[in-house]
Amino acid sequence: MKLKVLPPTLRKNNRYLTVDIKIDCPISKDDLVTIVWDACVRFQGETNTANFNLWVMKFYEMEKPDDYYCYKAIIRCQRDFVSDVRSSLALANKFNNSRIAITTIGLSGTIKASQKYI
């Protein structure tokens, strides 16, 4: 039996955040997933974070300036919780005893449109 595809009216409305990450040590995509989920759970709690529909879609490594590593990423979240996710990411400041700064540089409705911020 073939699974039915949900019609667009019943699908969740997603938004894509383009974020800029500056950190003292190198990280991978898996580390970023840990950072994002940890920040959201700490600030919003487990019940709210479960509604966010968080997912790290793309992860890019940028040129390294002298004193820190720079990355950019595209993070998917549900439309109703964009401000909660942005505030949670802004409050993340430590990962494995390294300083970290996460800044939202763009918000869009598609992955293709969010790639213009990179």
Nearest to 21, CA basis, from 58, 63, 66, 71: 71
**Entry pTM:** 0.88
Tell me, yes or no, whether 41 lies in a domain. yes
Tell me, yes or no, whether 8 lies in a domain. no
Give me the percent of the chain exceeding a pLDDT of 70: 100
Number of domains in the chain: 1
What CATH code is carried by the domain that includes residue 103?
A: 3.30.70.3250
Once rounded to an integer, what is the mean pLDDT over residues 48-77?
Answer: 92
Other CB atoms within a 10 A radius of the CB of residue 74 amount to 21
Confidence of residue 99 (pLDDT cuts 50, 70, 90): very high
pLDDT at 28: 94
Q: What phi, psi does 41 have (nearest 5°)?
A: -70, -40
CA distance readout (Å), 77 to 17, 26, 111? 8, 25, 12
Nearest to 74, CA basis, from 32, 27, 26: 32
Nearest to 43, CA basis, from 94, 103, 85, 98: 85
